[in-house]
């Protein structure tokens, strides 16, 4: 089984890569806090506290306390979750399509650029997906122990995990309501309906209780310890959560729509549209049957529940639209695609022979994998932590740092932007406390620029190219770094 070697080979290839993008805060800085306090469970400093349960950072600090504070130990700490994801995907694939389709779900999910990009990082979102897959497989197989573990893991990892657990509860509740024939759930107000739905879930599906109780305890504990839940006005992320109004709402909706098409998922939507056009009678007879846990209607309902729970924050706030925020939804989309292919296969054998079981899923997987090579032109913001395309940056950045050290250029004289402002200790665990200066083109003597950085505008690049001197450039596989020197 070559798939079993995937987690080991993947970690081996990236075990010396630094913390990157949001994992510097959500993994490294959180872990440093607990590691430096001898694993005491203490509130995070305000400058690194974004309101999520810091359980992942605690786990990483525990790993450091046993194996040493190194990048290799940090990456290998992800092995249990990568392996669990692999096994759960096979089990879910089997439930959705049997022996013939089970192996296809693994590359369909793991080669999705967002999943692949997170899989090479020391990322709490990888753990979130482990909880999601564990819970989904438990629900499909009616294994309450798995549901308990999966929902608890979701609620321990982040508030987005709590939202995902809520989506799973509503999904399961709607299945139960459908099985009961919607008795007592007709013609009621939405709020009353949701209240009764949650009561229905908890009364019949107690497996959600441990996770929900942990979420309630953490939010209460955090409120008692810090005075706030989720966000506070002095938070470094407060500008990101400014309410969006007018055209900003429309822009956010368009950005969110593009996230669902980005990096190759466009091909999945095209395939679903083509199947719906070609096999509409088959799908129409299935989509209303949400009571079958692994049926087409159930997978469609799961996708809709996740969209309902995970999308509002990306629409209602100014800049909460990262690809990874919708990652459980993207995985559910892959479930729906696989279930749809398996559903129409008997009819497709007659009309199109074996194209549905070999050629179409192969082309779809290739399209998703190639999404890791999509690099947008300068000036178009891109989710670099949601694609393998970011990997060359680590080697290029190391070369640029060697260049600065060889010429005695102090880091405090070099301006830069996110995600290049953290210390070497936080990114590389190398004890280096130096960091670049914030961007100030009127005062910086040098400037470190890259197409990895979304916080540089076209105007910034025009100033650099017209009024500064390009000292050195490093580039590989579409990723580039430029070091500018003031004239």
Q: Do residues 337 and 285 share a domain?
A: yes
The C-alpha atoms of residue 193 and residue 189 are separated, in whole angstroms, by 6
Q: Enumerate the β-bridge partners of residue 484.
A: 447, 470
pLDDT score of 351 more than 70: no
Q: Is residue 382 part of a domain?
A: no
Average pLDDT of span 138-144: 91
Q: Is residue 174 part of a domain?
A: yes
Q: Do residues 340 and 452 share a domain?
A: no
Q: Do residues 411 and 326 share a domain?
A: no
Three-state DSSP state, 35: helix
Q: Is residue 381 part of a domain?
A: no
> How many Å separate Cα 482 from the centre of its chain?
29
Those residues whose C-beta lies under 8 Å from the C-beta of residue 67, and which sit 6 or more positions away, are: 73, 76
Asked which of 227-231, 307-311, 369-373 is least confident by mean pLDDT, the reply is 227-231
Average pLDDT of span 107-114: 95
Residue-level pLDDT at 236 = 74
pLDDT score of 353 more than 60: no
Per-residue tokens: 99: 């022996």
φ/ψ of 264, rounded to 5, equals: 100, -15
Per-residue tokens: 280: 């509409």
Q: Which residue has the tokens 């950085």?
A: 453
Per-residue tokens: 369: 């994998």
Q: Do residues 232 and 102 share a domain?
A: yes
Whether 94 contacts 102, CB under 8 Å: yes
pLDDT score of 179 more than 90: no
Residue 418 Rama label (left phi>0; alpha psi -120 to 50; beta)? beta
Q: Is residue 383 part of a domain?
A: no
Q: Is residue 424 part of a domain?
A: yes
Residue-level pLDDT at 205 = 66
Asked which of 45-49, 177-181, 371-375, 426-430 is least confident by mean pLDDT, the reply is 177-181
Residue-level pLDDT at 39 = 95
Domain boundary among 373, 399, 418: 373
Average pLDDT of span 90-110: 92
Residue-level pLDDT at 116 = 96
Three-state DSSP state, 196: helix
Among candidates 465, 467, 333, 452, which has minimal Cα distance to 381?
A: 452
Q: Please return the burial class of 127, using the count of CB atoms within 10 Å of its CB with bins 0-12, 13-18 and 19+.
A: buried
Asked which of 46-55, 189-198, 298-307, 465-474 is least confident by mean pLDDT, the reply is 189-198
Average pLDDT of span 44-72: 95
378-425: per-residue pLDDT in tens?
878 899 999 999 999 999 999 999 999 999 999 999 999 999 999 999
Among candidates 347, 274, 277, 338, which has minimal Cα distance to 302?
A: 338
The pTM of this model reads: 0.92
* Domain carrying residue 396: 391-486
The 3-class secondary structure across 436-448, one letter per residue, is: CEECCCCCCCEEE
Average pLDDT, the chain: 88
Residue-level pLDDT at 395 = 96
Q: Is residue 380 part of a domain?
A: no
Q: Is residue 364 part of a domain?
A: yes
Residue-level pLDDT at 101 = 87
Q: Do residues 252 and 356 share a domain?
A: yes
Q: How many domains does the chain have?
A: 2
Handedness of CA 420, 422, 424, 428 (dihedral sign): negative
Q: Is residue 345 part of a domain?
A: yes
Per-residue tokens: 56: 């992942």
Predicted confidence band of residue 355 (pLDDT cuts 50, 70, 90): low
458-481: per-residue pLDDT in tens?
899 999 999 999 999 999 999 999
Q: Do residues 321 and 410 share a domain?
A: no
Asked which of 132-136, 214-218, 229-233, 481-485 is least confident by mean pLDDT, the reply is 229-233
């Amino acid at each position: 089984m070559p798939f079993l070697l995937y987690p080991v080979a993947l970690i081996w290839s990236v075990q010396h890569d630094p913390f990157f993008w949001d994992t510097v805060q959500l993994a490294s800085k959180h872990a440093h806090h607990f590691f430096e306090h001898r694993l005491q469970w203490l509130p995070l400093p305000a400058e690194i506290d974004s309101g999520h349960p810091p359980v992942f950072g605690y786990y990483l600090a525990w790993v450091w306390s046993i194996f040493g504070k190194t990048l290799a130990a940090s990456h290998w700490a992800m092995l249990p979750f990568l392996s669990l994801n692999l096994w759960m995907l096979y089990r879910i694939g089997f439930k959705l399509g049997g022996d013939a389709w089970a192996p296809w779900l693994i590359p369909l999910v793991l080669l999705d650029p967002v999943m692949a990009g997170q899989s090479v990082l020391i990322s709490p979102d990888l753990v979130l997906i482990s909880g999601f897959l564990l819970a989904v497989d438990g629900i499909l197989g009616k294994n309450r122990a798995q549901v308990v573990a999966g929902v608890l893991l979701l609620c321990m990892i982040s508030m987005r995990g709590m939202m995902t657990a809520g989506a799973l509860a509503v999904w399961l509740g709607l299945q139960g309501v459908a099985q009961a024939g919607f008795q007592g759930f007709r013609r009621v107000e939405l709020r009353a309906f949701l209240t009764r739905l949650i009561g229905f879930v908890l009364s019949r599906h107690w497996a959600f209780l441990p996770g929900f109780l942990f979420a309630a305890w953490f939010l209460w504990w955090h409120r008692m310890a810090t005075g706030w839940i989720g966000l506070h006005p002095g938070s470094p992320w407060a500008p990101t959560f400014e309410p969006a109004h007018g055209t900003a709402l429309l822009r956010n909706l368009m950005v969110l729509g593009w996230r669902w098409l980005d990096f190759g998922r466009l091909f999945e939507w095209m395939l679903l549209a083509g199947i719906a056009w070609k096999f509409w009678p088959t799908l129409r007879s299935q989509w209303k049957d949400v009571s079958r846990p692994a049926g087409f209607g159930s997978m469609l309902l799961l996708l809709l529940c996740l969209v309902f729970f995970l999308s509002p924050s990306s629409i209602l706030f100014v800049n909460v639209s990262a690809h990874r925020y919708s990652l459980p939804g993207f995985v559910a989309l892959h479930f729906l695609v696989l279930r749809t292919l398996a559903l129409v296969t008997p009819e497709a054998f007659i009309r199109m022979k074996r194209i549905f079981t070999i050629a179409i899923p192969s082309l779809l997987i290739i399209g998703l994998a190639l999404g890791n090579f999509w690099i947008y032109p300068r000036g178009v913001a891109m989710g670099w932590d949601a694609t393998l395309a970011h990997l060359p940056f680590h080697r290029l950045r190391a070369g640029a740092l060697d260049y600065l050290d060889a010429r005695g250029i102090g880091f405090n004289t070099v301006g830069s932007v996110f995600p290049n402002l953290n210390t070497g200790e936080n990114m590389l665990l190398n004890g280096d406390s130096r960091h670049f200066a914030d961007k100030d083109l009127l005062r910086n003597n040098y400037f470190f620029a890259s197409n990895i950085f979304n916080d540089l505008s076209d105007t910034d690049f025009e100033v650099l190219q017209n009024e500064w001197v390009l000292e050195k450039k490093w580039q590989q596989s579409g990723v580039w770094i430029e070091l500018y020197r003031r004239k």
